Amino acid sequence: MILTVASLKGGVGKTTTAIHLAAYLQTLAPTLLVDNDPNKSATGWQARSENGLPFRVVDVNQSLKVGRDYEHVVFDTKARPDKGELQTLAEGCDLMVIPTTPDAMSIEALMATVEMLKGLGVGQFKVLITIIPPYPERDGEDARAMLDANGYPLFASGIREAKVFKQASLRGMIVNQLKGQRAEICWQDYVRVGEELVA
């Protein structure tokens, strides 16, 4: 499966999602993460890793040669792709995963992304709600209800907001390599999304 994680907005959890979905897919079959963001966030994540990541990370320029050895490929992408870039990203994958946080600015960017995709005739995309603030805040549920009512294709589960994701990024790790129950709960958020992907 070829997945592309993309969005018109930065800071919505694209890289965190690409890294963790690649980690999940690697538990099933050899998986490659292709860094297609000139900021090289995924490459940096790997560089901070002491014991390495469980999957291989390559630059987009290396991906054609290396990619044939992998069952699953996950592309991380830059923020603010233009329309043409979004089109080629969509045409290069089986499914585009579009992360959005539940706040208004992110949802607006999501809607603009989806409008652009629809205008391009792209149908294979699914929205992932990320960085969902904890109860008693209801932002996650409110965003889900609104997007659902407006017919947006959504992953049934979302990703909670948690410090362990920042710690994982700082240390170049996957949350399931961190100790503690909290880290495991957060890993399960991405496992559920991964299970939905391969179902």
Interaction site with Mg ion (CB under 5 A): 14-15, 41
Q: Min. distance of Cβ 101 from ligand ADP in angstroms? A: 8
Alpha-carbon separation of residue 67 from 43, 57, 70 (angstroms): 16, 11, 6
From the list ligand ADP, Mg ion, none, pick the one residue 33 interacts with, judged by a Cβ distance below 5 to 8 Å according to partner type: none
Judged by CB under 6 A, which stretch of 7-15, 24-32, 67-75, 171-179 contacts ligand ADP?
7-15
Nearer CB in complex with ligand ADP: 128/147? 128
Find the residue with minimal CB distance to Mg ion.
15
Contact status, residue 17 vs residue 25, Cβ threshold 8 Å: no
- Residue of 58, 127, 162, 193 interacting with ligand ADP (CB under 6 A): 162
- Minimum CB distance to Mg ion, residue 18 (Å): 8
**CB of residue 20 to ligand ADP, shortest distance in Å:** 9
Q: Which DSSP category does 92 fall into?
A: T
Q: Which two tokens stand for residue 56?
A: 């291989």
Name beta bridge partners: 99. 128
Residues contacting residue 97 through CB under 8 Å, at least 6 positions apart: 3, 4, 5, 6, 17, 21, 125, 126, 128, 155
CA-angle at 158, arms to 157 and 160, nearest 5° = 135
42 binds ligand ADP (CB under 6 A): no
Name the DSSP letter for residue 155: -
CB of 149 or CB of 188, closer to ligand ADP: 188
- Rounded Cα–Cα distance for residues 155 and 158 (Å): 7
Which residues in 69-128 contact ligand ADP (CB under 6 A)? 79
Per rule CB under 6 A, is residue 139 in the interface with ligand ADP?
A: no
Interface ranges with ligand ADP (CB under 6 A)? 10-16, 41, 79, 130-131, 159, 161-162, 165-166, 169
